[in-house]
Every structure is written in C-alpha cells, then in structure tokens.
Amino acid sequence: MLSTNVVQRGIRTMSSLRLALVQLAVGDDKAANVARAVSFIERAKQEHADIVTLPECFNSPYGTSHFAKYAENIPNGETSAALSEVARRNSIYVIAGTIPEREDDKLYNTCTVWAPDGKLMVKYRKMHLFDIDIKGKITFRESDSLSPGNSLTTFEVKGCKIGIGICYDIRFEEMARLYRNRGCQMLIYPGAFNMTTGPLHWSLLQRSRANDNQLYVACVSPARGLPPGYVAWGHTQLTNPWGEILNELGDSEDMVVADIDLKVVDEVRSQIPTFGQRRTDLYDTVWKKD
C-alpha cells in the first residue's frame, strides 16, 4: 500500500503550478522500485499535480557497489520505458529523480525529465561527484564508479523555468547562481544526504540556495532505510524564495503536493533587488562551457 499523502493546497492562480515530491522507499528489487514510483506518479496525478519529482537513485540502492548492476541505457532501458508510459498515460511532467545510467564504458548518476506526451525532454548528469571522508563517520567516493556530467539543464513548465541539480551539487553555490542567471525560478535537487550530513546541512543548504537566488528550492530524498549500507536522512523539503520552509516530510515513505506561486519570486526579487545590485564590474559567476 502507498503511504498517506501529505497535501498542502492554496488557491491556484495563473502564476501557480502544483508540484508533487515523492519520498520513496527503495529496496533491492529494481522492478518493485519502479512499480512503486509509477504508483506514486499516478497518485500525484489524482491530486492534480502538474509535476511529480522522484528521489535520487529511486530504482536502485544508493552505493558504488550497486551502480553498475542497476545501470541502464537512457532512453532505451526498462526504467525509461516505464517512466515514458506513466507520464503519457497520466499527462504529467515527471522529474525522474536519478538512476544509474550506462553509456559506452561509463556510468553516470542521471536525472531524466519526461513530458506529458511521454517524450524525454532533457536529462542531467550529476556534475559534482560525492567524494568525502569524515573521519570516524562516513567515507564515500562516487568517483570510484561514476563519471561527472558537464552540462547545466533547464526546462519550462507553465511559465516556470526549472534548473536541475543532484544531491552534492547543492553545496556549490556557483551552480545555483548560474541557473539564476539563466532565469530559473525553481531549482530541484533529487538527493540522498546521509545520517551525518543530513541533520547538519540538508535544510541549511536548501534555505541558503533559495535565499541567495530568490527562487523555490525542492530537495527530494529516498525514505530512510536500514543499515547495513547507505542510510538516507529523508526529510524531503520545499523552500520558498524568502527562505521559508513550506513543507517537510519525516523519514518514512510519503508524498507532499504543494501549489507553487510564481508571483512570490517576482515579489522577493523586486523588494530585495540583489540581482541588479551585484558588482559585476568587480566580480561575476560565469559558465565556461559555452
């Protein structure tokens, strides 16, 4: 059975869209993981969501020992086929968290976005790989198995321009600023912070990126599993451009549905006009790839 939805609704306006964030329980069975994701996507549609977002590594356990086993081609793998079909059948945008992607001899941690007609709109490969060593607590090296992506990814839904990052990417404020420079009003990060960094930094980083760039930030985690293996912090969160936490889940499988009022973005940016006050004659944030 699916867990009970957490639904927060306001008065929908021409400047709003409804966003569903799914905190999915993930196990060892890929087919079961995908089936649960599909069920939540269908549930989000029943709640009249325009967009539904899944967590990082929703079709596989998170860990370097799992990536190769669960990796697929995009868009020709079985997970992509299921996402395309459920997006088309429900006429909904799906930000499909991440899955391990295989291309030639490389693996990537990749987020796909599916349109209501079932077509793949864009994909984003995690740019900053999670390589940390906190003595006595956690050591992890994504670079032992994954390759980094090299491109920013944006798309638009109902007048809202959205930028995609993945988990560790949120620690790099320059990346969020680049998305802001490109006109984004929302940043979405599928992520799986752990039990060491989660309590300290998960919420702090989301509020910081939202406040710095005066936009909505959503981070979508898997539900908390049990050791052994990597244990996610959970606490999927939605933050507004004022830096206020609008919605936060606990550690169990659940879903929140919230209305996003884009007028708040304009309101904050006009009242505290930091974007136009930056001293770009002295400093700037630039994308070197173009």
Instruction: Tell me how crowded residue 70 is: count the other CB atoms within 10 A of its CB.
Output: 20
The structure's pTM equals: 0.94
SS3 of residue 182 by DSSP: coil
pLDDT digits (tens, 9 = 90+) for 73-130: 999 999 999 999 999 999 999 999 999 999 999 999 999 999 999 999 999 999 999 8
Residue 132: partners with Cβ closer than 8 Å, 6 or more residues away: 138, 139, 140, 197
CA distance 167 to 169: 5
pLDDT digits (tens, 9 = 90+) for 6-40: 445 445 555 689 999 999 999 999 999 999 999 99
pLDDT digits (tens, 9 = 90+) for 142-154: 989 999 999 999 9
Nearest residue to 51 via CA among 169, 188, 180: 188
Residue 126 is a catalytic residue: yes
Residue 267 is a catalytic residue: no
CA distance 255 to 21: 6
pLDDT digits (tens, 9 = 90+) for 223-264: 999 887 899 999 999 999 999 999 999 999 999 999 999 999
Mean pLDDT throughout 169-182?
Answer: 98
Model pLDDT, residue 13: 56
Identify the helix (H) or strand (E) that includes residue 144.
Answer: none
Find the catalytic residue in 126, 142, 184, 253: 126
Question: Strand pairing partners for 217?
Answer: 187, 239
Find the catalytic residue in 30, 45, 56, 101: 56
Is the per-residue pLDDT at 5 higher than 50?
no
Residue-range domains of the chain with CATH: 17-275 (3.60.110.10)
